[in-house]
């Protein structure tokens, strides 16, 4: 496996929608393994193929209380609760920039595994937030777009100062 180069904000690739995976093969498994290595090196808890410039619907998550990382191919939201939760979010493409984002606290989603087998799952709390964050990225919605213009502009300026110095 390899650590890949992560696109940095405001790279246009981070605003590009990803295409569905149609071929489930060793190259997909290799990419998933490389994403895991890249995410761990960043470090982060989630990463998409889009973060490394591959516009395909592939997500790797590894949450702190899990025994093993998980891979999601072609994930899509099916339902979300009306109840919301505010959580601090960031991105491997914008290291060090954090801000609170409000999202539905529970979701139901569908995805395929690396063999193409379909699954449906419910998630709540931090897990639900992570899945929504990564699906947004696959849809070309970088997490900053979930912030008010004022918060977004302030955060971008602060981040640019940190990365310039």
Residues marked active site are found at: 134
Which residue intervals of 24-148 are DSSP H helices?
Answer: 26-41, 125-138
CB atoms closer than 10 angstroms to residue 118: 10
Give the residue carrying structure tokens 């849809």.
139
Give the residue carrying structure tokens 């900053």.
144
Give the residue carrying structure tokens 């808890």.
45
Closest by Cα among 76, 67, 71, 85 to 124? 85
2 contact partners, CB below 8 Å, separation of at least 6: 34, 37, 38
């Amino acid at each position: 496996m390899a650590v890949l180069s992560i696109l940095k904000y405001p790279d246009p690739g981070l605003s590009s929608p990803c295409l569905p995976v149609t071929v489930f093969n060793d190259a997909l498994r290799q990419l998933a393994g490389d994403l895991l290595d890249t995410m761990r090196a960043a470090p982060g808890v989630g990463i998409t193929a889009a973060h490394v410039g591959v516009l395909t619907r592939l997500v790797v998550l590894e949450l702190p209380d899990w025994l093993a990382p998980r891979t999601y191919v072609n994930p899509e939201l099916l339902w979300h609760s009306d109840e919301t939760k505010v959580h601090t979010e960031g991105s491997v493409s914008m290291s060090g920039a954090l801000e609170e984002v409000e999202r539905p606290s529970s979701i139901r989603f569908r995805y395929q595994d690396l063999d193409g087998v379909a699954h449906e799952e419910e998630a709540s709390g931090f897990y639900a937030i992570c899945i929504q964050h990564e699906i947004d990225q696959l849809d070309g919605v970088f997490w900053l777009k979930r912030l008010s213009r004022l918060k977004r502009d302030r955060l971008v300026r602060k981040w640019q100062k940190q990365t310039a110095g």
